[in-house]
Amino acid sequence: MSKFLFGRYLPLDSIVHRLDPRNKLMLSFCYIILVFLANNWLSYVILIAFTLGAIRASTIRLGFFLRGIRPLIWLILFTVDLQLLFSPAGGHVYWHWAFINITQFGVINAGYIFIRFLLIIMMSTLLTLSTQPLDIATGLASLMKPLRWVKVPVDTLAMMLSIALRFVPTLMDEAQKIMNAQRARGVDFGEGGLFKQAKSLLPLMVPLFMSAFNRAEDLSIAMEARGYQDSDHRSQYRILTWQRRDTVTWVLFAVGLALILICRRW
């Protein structure tokens, strides 16, 4: 469980940690657009420099990001291989067999895809490592506010999201405890054939669901006891305020955008 880095917050005190979560969400989204705008080596070098700079500013060790990539490595390699083997013809053909062509075009595209994956994962890992889940939820809710105009129950959705996030660590602890108890009763998790592995999940999932349902019921009673009402307009304990450092990040972003627009192949 502890290897599962995506969604884990590292409590440090850096400028990246202190940025407004709304801003970090928007930046991460726009960064993805930037990644797809890049289409030659020079523009990727610029992006890599920007990403490494952001990581440096967060004071989180690079090793954490590399570990964040590990669980997704098969997905990345699969996509890269597809790109490598089935690219449309273009440039020099290195190898040809039946419908499979390895072309210059394909190799370069595969390389780009690989870098794109890496950059996007690193940036989203940076977002989750440097932002508390609850702040992400608040930020998302705040960004969704305009949807109220089209009758989307934004406040309720935000409440659901923050409750769900709040219970992720609780349920992970719970799962760990139940796994320990079942291990002590002789269960080997993650061993044996596929059928055996699936079967060994039952002693984990049944108690975990039981406990989740019980918790949900207790929580709903506790909320109602404190007068919670659905679809009311809610005030917030933590008010997000836009700081100068948030503006600075957009200046940096604009510089990056300009550089990439200049360098990319049109």
Partner 1 sequence: MVVAITFEHVGYTYQADTPLATPALDDVSLTVPDHGYLAVIGHTGSGKSTLIQQLNALLKPTTGQLTVDEFTITPTTTNADLKPLRQHVGMVFQFPESQLFEETIQKDIAFGPQNFGMAETDALALADQMLTQVGLDASYAQRSPFELSGGQMRRVAIAGVLAMHPQVLVLDEPTAGLDPQGRQEMMALFDRLHRERGLTIVLVTHQMEDVAQYAEQVAVMRQGKLVKEGTPQEIFGDPDWLRANQLDVPRAAQFAQDLTAHGVTWPQGLPLTASALADQLAAQWPKGGAAHV
Q: Which is nearer to partner 1, 148 or 177 (CB)?
A: 177
Stretch that binds partner 1, among 32-40, 79-87, 205-213, 246-254 (CB under 8 A): 205-213
Q: How far is the CB of 91 from partner 1 (least distance, A)?
A: 45
The 10 Å CB-count burial string (b at 16+, else e) for 205-242 is eebbeebeeeeeeeeeeeeeeeeeeeeeeeeeeeeeee
Task: Round to whole Å and give the CA distance between 89 and 234.
Answer: 57
Residues 113/80, Cβ–Cβ less than 8 Å: yes
By rule CB under 8 A, what string of x and - marks binding of each residue 51-90 to partner 1?
Answer: ----------x-----------------------------
Does residue 187 belong to the site contacting partner 1 (CB under 8 A)?
Answer: yes
Ranges within 207-236 binding partner 1 (CB under 8 A): 207, 210-211
Q: Are 34 and 260 in contact (CB under 8 A)?
A: yes
Taking the least distance from each CB to partner 1, the nearer of 89 and 206 is 206
Angstrom CA distances, 184 to 161, 188, 192, 207, stand at 35, 9, 18, 15
The tokens 């500013």 sit on which residue?
57
CB of 207 to partner 1, least distance (A): 5
CB of 205 vs partner 1, minimal distance in Å: 8
The only residue of 40, 156, 170, 180 in contact with partner 1, by rule CB under 8 A: 180
Which range binds partner 1 by CB under 8 A, 24-32, 37-45, 131-139, 201-209?
Answer: 201-209
- Candidates 88, 186, 193, 227; binder of partner 1 (CB under 8 A) is 186
Round to whole Å and give the CA distance between 1 and 173: 9
CA angle 38, 68, 123 (to 5 degrees): 35
Q: What is the DSSP letter of 60?
A: -
State how far the Cα of 124 lies from the Cα of 128, in Å rounded to an integer: 6
Please report whether residue 172 would count as binding partner 1 according to CB under 8 A. Answer: no
Interface ranges with partner 1 (CB under 8 A): 2, 10, 12, 61, 174, 177-178, 180-188, 202-203, 206-207, 210-211
